[in-house]
Amino acid sequence: MANRHHPLTGFERTFDPGELIVTKTDLKGRITYANRVFLRISGYDEHEVIGAPHNILRHPDMPACVFKLLWDTIGAGREIFAYVDNRAKTGDHYWVFAHVTPSFDENGTAIGYHSNRRVPRRDAVETIRPLYAQLLAEERRHANPKAAMVASTALLSDLLKRNGTTYDKFIFAL
């Protein structure tokens, strides 16, 4: 597996609005398929990612509570949309608008997850970035990861409640 700890470069990679980044994972989040766009943008070779945990892409500026919400949602058999800042192998980063959904067998049993990522709207990224910074700052105030997750999740829930919206409505309103 590739080194997850290349220094951040601050360089943002982009891809064409007509392209889709596609990956599939097993139920534990290990990559089972990655398309060529994913490989090109992430900077990984196929042999480096197949079998690797999808969180090799986790950028340190992403709040953990966003991933908890994602995993809770898809684990319950529902789809989710999210803006995500990913970390490329080189330390570059790239923003995506992700659609993650469970994959089911013929009996309706979840067998993995499928994610399509599109180029996000820049205004949406500029709106979500300060929210993510606020959530991450809350997480960093707590030495205990579980307490950090609880605190940032509560902060996100309170924000949504104050604005009279749900997570899904908030994301689609960006």
Of residues 78, 126, 120, 121, the one with CA closest to residue 100: 78
Question: What is the tens place of the pLDDT at every residue in 5-54?
Answer: 689 999 999 999 999 999 999 999 999 999 999 999 999 999 999 999 99
- Token readout for 98 is 């992700």
Q: What percentage of the chain reaches a pLDDT higher than 70? A: 97
Query: What are residue 109's phi and psi, to 5 degrees?
Result: -90, 130
Q: What is the Cβ-side half-sphere exposure of residue 105, based on CA atoms within 13 angstroms?
A: 6
What CATH number is given for 21-173 in this structure? 3.30.450.20
Cα–Cα dist 50/60, whole Å = 22
Residues 70-90 have a mean pLDDT of 97
Q: Quote the pLDDT of residue 6.
A: 85
Closest listed residue to residue 74, CA positions, set 53, 112, 101: 101
pLDDT, one tens digit per residue, over 44-53 is 999 999 999 9
The count of other CB atoms within 10 Å of the CB of residue 118 is 16
